[in-house]
Amino acid sequence: MSFEGKVALVTGGSRGIGRVIALKLAEEGSDVIINYFRKKSTAQATCDEIRTKGVKAHAIKANVGEPEKIHSMFDEVVSEFGKLDILINNAASGVARPAMELDDKSWDWTIDINARAFLLCAQRAAKLMPDGGKMISISSLGSRMVMPVYTSVGVSKAALEALTRYLAIELAPQNICVNGVCASAVETEALQLYVNDPNLPRPAWQTTPAGRMVQPEDIANAVIFLCKDESAMIRGQIIVIDGGFSLSPSAFNPEGGSHGP
């Protein structure tokens, strides 16, 4: 159990990729705090599952797009656990519209949740982290590749990745490791919001050159590695988890993006 005695906070940790990361951290022995947006019952169910791993679990409701909610969340982290060793910035939202149809409200909503929240969380988390703390941001390929109706999310993820690099250097003297994981389409409920769009190349979403879609466990495995001291000399890097999808010229070909079975 690599993370025994550690405390981790996973934003957006009640479901999808965040939930799987939270469970993996628990399996490694870390106490886990999950932040959730709305569904208390889902968060409680995830907490119950975390506790079966023999660690403490705690759920905090907060829209990380609102600075005051982030501060309340960290006040609760302090009162409940007194410290934080691992921060996983996973919570994300977005408005699926082309650039020409984006209004300022949709833009701010997406940027605030997906990028600014990491800045504000990192500022609070750094004060609670002992030597050897870890911060991991969860990004997506929209940060570097153009996908239909993904404008606001893609741009926010590009900002998130840049912020990850800046934080890595600024927090290096405190021996806090900051890195990111960038995923292609991951098989979660959230993907369904985009899959129904007829403009998207469905076959490409459904597989990769590696022959299958990326699963939440693939992301969680990389996150766990980056949270271990063995990866301490990796700083400010964004690890792409996409089964080779972004390297394949046929990745965005609607007629077939697969080299797999």
CA–CA distance, 21 with 122 (Å, rounded to integer): 18
Q: Tokens in use for 83?
A: 């410290």
Determine contact, residues 196/249, Cβ cutoff 8 Å.
no
Choice from 29, 51, 56, 106 touching another protein (CB under 8 A)? 106
Q: Which stretch binds another protein (CB under 8 A): 34-42, 133-141, 148-156, 183-191?
A: 34-42
Would you count residue 41 as binding another protein (CB under 8 A)?
Answer: yes
What is the maximal distance between C-alpha atoms in the chain?
54
Q: Which stretch binds another protein (CB under 8 A): 20-28, 37-45, 80-88, 138-146?
A: 37-45
Q: Determine how β-strand 7-10 pairs with β-strand 134-140.
A: unpaired
Would you count residue 61 as binding another protein (CB under 8 A)?
Answer: yes
Quote the least distance from Cβ 49 to another protein, whole Å.
19
Cβ closer to another protein: 95 or 145?
95
Closest C-alpha among 46, 44, 45 to residue 17: 46
Q: Which stretch binds another protein (CB under 8 A): 105-113, 140-148, 221-229, 230-238?
A: 105-113
- Residues between 149 and 168 with contacts to another protein, criterion CB under 8 A: none
Quote the least distance from Cβ 109 to another protein, whole Å.
6
Closest C-alpha among 60, 36, 56 to residue 48: 56
Would you count residue 40 as binding another protein (CB under 8 A)?
Answer: yes
Q: Tokens in use for 228?
A: 């271990």
Active site members: 150, 157
Phi, psi at 254, each rounded to 5° = -60, -20
